[in-house]
Amino acid sequence: LGVLAVLLLIVILAVVLGLTLREDSNDLKPTFLNRCQQFQVKNCQHAWEVFQQAYVDKDPCNVSMEAYDPFIEATSFTPSCNRMMFWSKTKDVVHEFTEKKECFQTLEDTVLGSVLDGLTWCGKKGSSETFTTGCPRWTDCINNPVRSFWNRASAAFANVACGNITAMLNGSIATPFDSSSIFASIEVGNLKSDKVNNLNVVLVTQKNVVSNCTNQSFENLKSKLAEGIKFNCKEVPETQIQECGSDPEKACGSCW
Ligand code: N1C
């Protein structure tokens, strides 16, 4: 009886371990659905299926931005004018701030950006599966599923932007407006002058300030902005942004 009990225990352990490992090696779908359900989306299962169609059964270096068009349509959202926040090389400070204070909305605060933030995925030719390992990295090839997604989603976010918009850029690097970034190469060119009045750059500075608002790269930014969209820039210490985020008394408009 003792031997049987031990055998049974081993079988149970093996099954439990097997199930956990399986979920670990392919956890994109549950993560996607869980995050999707935090938003008022009617049909998250449908959104998942439309999303998958962009890259399954395809060479993972040959997925275009346009492949995500149906998914972008399925998750369309209403922009909150005057509250939209763009960023480049400032991901942590931006999200720490938007999480604490509901002054601004980044792409990751919408269902479209939230469901895939921080994740990696790809398909394979001849397979109907989604993989989360062995996928091309960001620079391995241009048309990889993750990069094409962020390019497409960012274009959609910028396309509907309206009112006064804000962008947090990094003052601790030599080129805060870097032409290879998504902000520079996709978002700025997709802003529409009939909807956007002002682009307010918040240049986040740390102890050692490397660039200020007179940085040469901002000339490049201004030249890429559609005529009619005004440009503003303000240098703001990172500590000031963090303090304002944690201070419930501070109004959104008085942070910088
Ligand atoms: O290339 P970036 O920044 O300029 O892209 C940031 C810009 C933001 O304004 C967002 O609206 O583009 C949008 N965006 C995301 O929302 C996003 N979430 C997560 C772009 N990239 C995003 N990621 C991941 O961050 C993505 O996988 C890529 O690798 C980085 C880009 O960050 P960056 O170079 O600081």
Q: Would you say the CB of residue 95 lies under 6 angstroms from ligand 1?
A: no
Q: Would you say the CB of residue 88 lies under 6 angstroms from ligand 1?
A: yes
Tokens of 247: 């201070």
DSSP code string of 143-205 = T-HHHHHHHHHHHHHHHT--EEEEEEEETTSS-SS-TTSHIIIIIHHH--TTTEEEEEEEEEE
75-85 as b/e: b if 16+ CB within 10 A: bebebeeebbb
Q: How far is the CA of 108 from the centre of ligand 1 (A)?
A: 9
**pLDDT in the model for residue 17:** 64
Q: Would you say the CB of residue 107 lies under 6 angstroms from ligand 1?
A: yes
36 is catalytic: no
Q: How far apart are CA 252 and CA 246, in angstroms?
A: 12
Residue nearest to atom 9 of ligand 1 (CA): 86
233 is catalytic: no
**pLDDT in the model for residue 24:** 42
Give me the residues of the chain with pLDDT under 70, please. 16-26
Counting ligand 1 atoms within 8 A of each CB, the residue from 180, 182, 224 with the most, and so the one to mutate, is 182
Q: Would you say the CB of residue 178 lies under 6 angstroms from ligand 1?
A: no
Q: Would you say the CB of residue 181 lies under 6 angstroms from ligand 1?
A: yes
Q: Active-site residue among 36, 44, 61, 81?
A: 81
User: Are 97 and 245 spatial neighbours (Cβ–Cβ below 8 Å)?
Assistant: yes
Surface-to-core class of residue 197, CB atoms within 10 Å of its CB (0-12 exposed, 13-18 middle, 19+ buried): middle
Q: How far is the CA of 20 from the centre of ligand 1 (A)?
A: 31
Q: How far is the CA of 72 from the centre of ligand 1 (A)?
A: 17
**pLDDT in the model for residue 21:** 45
- Over the stretch 196-236, which tens digit does the pLDDT of each residue have? 999 999 999 999 999 999 999 999 999 999 999 999 999 99
DSSP code string of 90-153 = -HHHHHHHHHH-TT-B-GGGSHHHHTTTT---B--TT----BSSSPPPTTT-TT-HHHHHHHHH
